Amino acid sequence: MQEQPHHGSPEDYWDTFWPAAGEDTGGVPDVSRMRWTQYPFHGPGAEFLGEPKTALEIGSASCVAGVALARTGVDVTCVDFSPHQMERARGWWSDEPNVTLVEADVLHYLARTDQRWDCVFSNWGAAFFIDPEILLPLVLPRLNPGGLFAFSHVEPLAPCFGPQIKYGNGYRGEKLAIVRWMPSNEQWTELLDRHGFANVEVTTLPGKEAGWVGTTLGRAYAR
Ligand SMILES: C[S@@+](CC[C@H](N)C(=O)[O-])C[C@H]1O[C@@H](n2cnc3c(N)ncnc32)[C@H](O)[C@@H]1O
């Protein structure tokens, strides 16, 4: 399997980034509604996925999106390779019905499992941080016929589409870097079409107010 370009391990980045950003100091998160955008009460909820019976969340972090979906009656498996995030997830959701928590690299997990799901989704998750040329061929065979691959991530800023490497640890000390994959809507559509998905639809949902950062939302189906 082709290696992802990185300096330091990507797990290190995620174990460092969230605590450093002060993003994970709060208590039990609100899972009353599935969110697809960076703004509360903006954009679609769980209905974005149709009516799957089973779903796999790739890059779930603490599994907030997956648990919100599970509470609508879907059987959800959440995969993330950050020990820090999975520890938080296990602390909150170990006894949650319909939720399975897996600490693993999504690429290894998808390559090794023979399970299939009605839906595979990335809610600002792994699809934002893995080369789609590597990820998409692993996702498609894991979908049931007619199954849905859905994703969201921040709206890329034109003209800087595609892979973007950035330091994850400030500009001093040990090199720690992460690659974000931010194809344009047209690039995503071409990628999904070329990798055999059907009914591809990738759009930008504008931010909550005029001029605010928007969200890329994508859906594509197994034939
Ligand atoms: C922006 S974050 C979290 C998104 C999450 N859905 C949320 O809203 O809290 C992206 C997550 O993807 C995970 N991730 C990135 N690449 C991964 C990979 N190859 N395998 C597993 N998890 C990965 C990171 O550990 C991180 O927790």
- pLDDT tens over the chain, length 223 residues: 444 444 667 777 777 665 655 566 678 899 999 999 999 999 999 999 999 999 999 999 999 999 999 999 999 999 999 999 999 999 999 999 999 999 999 999 999 999 999 999 999 999 999 999 999 999 999 999 999 999 999 999 999 999 999 887 778 888 888 899 999 999 999 999 999 999 999 999 999 999 999 999 999 999 9
Evaluate: CB of 181 within 6 angstroms of ligand 1.
no
End-to-end CA separation in angstroms for the chain: 25
| Ligand 1 proximity of 48 Cβ (cutoff 6 Å) | no
Place of tokens 């595609």: 162
Question: Is the CB–ligand 1 distance for residue 43 below 6 Å?
Answer: no
- Sequence spans of domains, the chain: 10-20+30-221
CATH class of the domain comprising 10-20+30-221:
alpha beta
Displacement of CA 66 from its chain's centroid (Å)? 10
